[in-house]
């Protein structure tokens, strides 16, 4: 068991801290020395929140899209365009939209017949989860290089600056708030694509970690509207679940729901994750100094490595972020000295770019879905009506096969899965894990190529068929 000190008070912390933040995704919020929140306040544009693609797939009501806030060259012919889009009148009613795409010799996005929207989970927005500090060695760059038109979203909570201290605006930020923002991002992408010569039809949605809850909830909602109004034609849930048939897991999630509800009842509307940014920054700057976050014998570096590399029995047995080297083989509370599949510097950079806050009511809603104790919750009433192709991707040292049960509840006739695992279930504590999916040195061969295969199959579909 590790102990972590936060704001002057000691907090007992095993890797269950990762369960508390839950299904974390990854993203660096730094670019050119400025935080993503700084970029938001510098420039922003409004997309009509009520305007959605109308008529048949590929036809849209015309309106002008904003110019990108920033443009980043990822490789010789792949560029990331970043937009900030207002979604309402509130100060923080805004989302970030990313477009990673092949460009022509003039720097303009090349039309594509295959498009993907990528959705992050807890802690970090798009660039760290899927962009890896604007590196060439990322799934976003890999897919774009293979002619997939890649889009991504930064949910509104990731853009709230660390300086904020009044979170009453988050009181109404529930799961539906995030779903609406995802629909806005899909509308934006489809409108852009229809205006640049692409088909403008529904996209495939990839959702990692907590984002999987958002993805299933969105599909649950879209299953009840007409075919030509739907914005998602296929779904790739990555290392996540929505429902479980394991009593121990359900009990754990129900406990998290109750804890979240108690905090909300006491006037707390945010989850504060700023400690993770501190952990990552200290590991990068002074790796061999005794940690002032984790108590001895941890250094700044082994503090981070142990948090990601040792496990907790939480949302699934043996849950962890990255497979770690633990010399004494104590994978529960030992000191990790390295990572098996991923580069420690990249993981420390990932932590240093963590968002500061997350909306607590949304977390409570997702816990309630898996707990199943709220009959009035709308997000899981139509799972049997979800009939789009679904391809689950998992890691043996994380959600792994526990994500397959949800697929059995869907109405889709086209479900498949790909789980990366090198150990039997009783040794999952040292297996390929949650963040390794994106950051492992061989992730392209083991994970991304499988996702590309599925996308290329969907690219041959017209995207206007609701039941396949």
Residues pairing with 45 in the sheet: 85
Residues comprising the chain, all counted: 468
How far apart are alpha carbons 175 and 214 in whole angstroms? 7
Q: What is the pLDDT of residues 34-54, one digit of tens each?
A: 232 222 222 334 444 333 443
Q: What is the pLDDT of residue 54?
A: 37
Q: What is the pLDDT of residues 50-79, one digit of tens each?
A: 334 433 333 334 457 889 999 999 988 999
Q: What is the pLDDT of residue 57?
A: 34
Q: What is the pLDDT of residue 326?
A: 96
Ranges under pLDDT 50 in the chain: 1-62, 463-464, 468
Alpha helices in 22-153 (DSSP H): 36-42, 126, 139-145
Q: What's the predicted TM-score (pTM) here?
A: 0.88
**Where does 256-380 show beta strands of DSSP type E?**
270-272, 324-325, 338-339, 357-359
Q: What is the pLDDT of residue 133?
A: 57
How far apart are alpha carbons 322 and 398 in whole angstroms? 9
Assign domain 24-269+355-459 one CATH number from 3.40.50.1820, 3.10.20.30, 3.90.480.20, 3.30.2310.20.
3.40.50.1820
How far apart are alpha carbons 459 and 455 in whole angstroms? 6
Angstrom CA distances, 266 to 221, 269, 270, 312, 455, stand at: 31, 9, 12, 28, 45
Q: What is the pLDDT of residue 328?
A: 92
Parallel, antiparallel or unpaired: strands 78-86 and 70-73: antiparallel
The structural domains of the chain, with segments of one domain joined by +, span 24-269+355-459
Query: H or E segment at 53?
Result: none
How far apart are alpha carbons 255 and 405 in whole angstroms? 21
């Amino acid at each position: 068991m590790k102990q972590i000190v936060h704001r002057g008070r000691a907090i007992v912390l095993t890797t269950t801290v990762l369960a508390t933040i839950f299904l974390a995704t990854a993203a660096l919020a730094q670019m050119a020395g400025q935080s993503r929140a700084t970029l938001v306040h510098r420039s922003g544009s409004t997309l009509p929140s009520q305007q959605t693609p109308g008529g048949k797939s590929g036809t849209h009501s015309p309106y002008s899209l904003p110019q990108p806030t920033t443009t980043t060259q990822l490789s010789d012919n792949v560029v990331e365009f970043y937009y900030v889009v207002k979604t309402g009148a509130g100060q923080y009613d805004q989302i970030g939209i990313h477009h990673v795409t092949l460009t022509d010799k003039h720097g303009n996005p090349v039309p594509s017949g295959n498009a993907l929207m990528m959705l992050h989970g807890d802690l970090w927005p798009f660039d760290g989860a899927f962009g890896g500090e604007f590196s060439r060695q990322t799934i976003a760059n890999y897919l774009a290089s293979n002619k997939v038109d890649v889009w991504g979203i930064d949910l509104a909570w990731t853009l709230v600056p660390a300086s904020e201290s009044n979170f009453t605006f988050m009181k109404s930020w529930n799961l539906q708030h995030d779903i609406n923002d995802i629909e806005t991002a899909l509308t934006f992408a489809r409108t852009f694509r229809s205006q640049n010569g692409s088909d403008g039809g529904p996209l495939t949605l990839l959702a990692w970690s907590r984002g999987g809850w958002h993805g299933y909830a969105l599909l649950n909602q879209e299953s009840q509207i007409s075919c030509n109004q739907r914005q998602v034609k296929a779904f790739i849930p990555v290392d996540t679940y929505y429902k479980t048939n394991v009593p121990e897991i359900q009990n754990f999630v129900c406990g998290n729901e109750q804890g979240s509800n108690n905090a909300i009842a006491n006037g707390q509307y945010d989850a504060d994750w700023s400690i993770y940014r501190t952990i990552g920054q200290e590991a990068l700057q002074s790796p061999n100094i005794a940690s002032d976050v984790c108590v001895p014998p941890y250094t700044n570096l082994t503090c981070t490595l142990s948090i990601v590399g040792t496990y907790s029995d939480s949302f699934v047995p043996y849950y962890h972020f990255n497979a770690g080297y633990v010399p004494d083989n104590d994978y529960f509370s030992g000191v990790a000295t390295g990572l098996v599949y991923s580069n420690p510097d990249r993981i420390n950079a990932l932590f240093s770019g963590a968002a500061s806050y997350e909306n607590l009511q949304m977390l409570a809603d997702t816990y309630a879905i898996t707990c199943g104790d709220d009959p009035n919750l709308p997000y899981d009433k139509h799972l049997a009506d979800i009939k789009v192709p679904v391809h689950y991707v998992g890691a043996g040292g994380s959600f792994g096969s526990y994500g397959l049960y949800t697929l059995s509840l869907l109405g889709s006739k086209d479900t498949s899965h790909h789980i990366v695992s090198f150990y039997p279930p009783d040794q999952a504590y040292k297996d390929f894990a949650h963040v390794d999916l994106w950051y492992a040195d061989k992730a392209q061969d083991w994970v991304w190529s499988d996702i590309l295969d599925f996308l290329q199959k969907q690219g041959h579909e017209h995207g206007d068929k609701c039941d396949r």
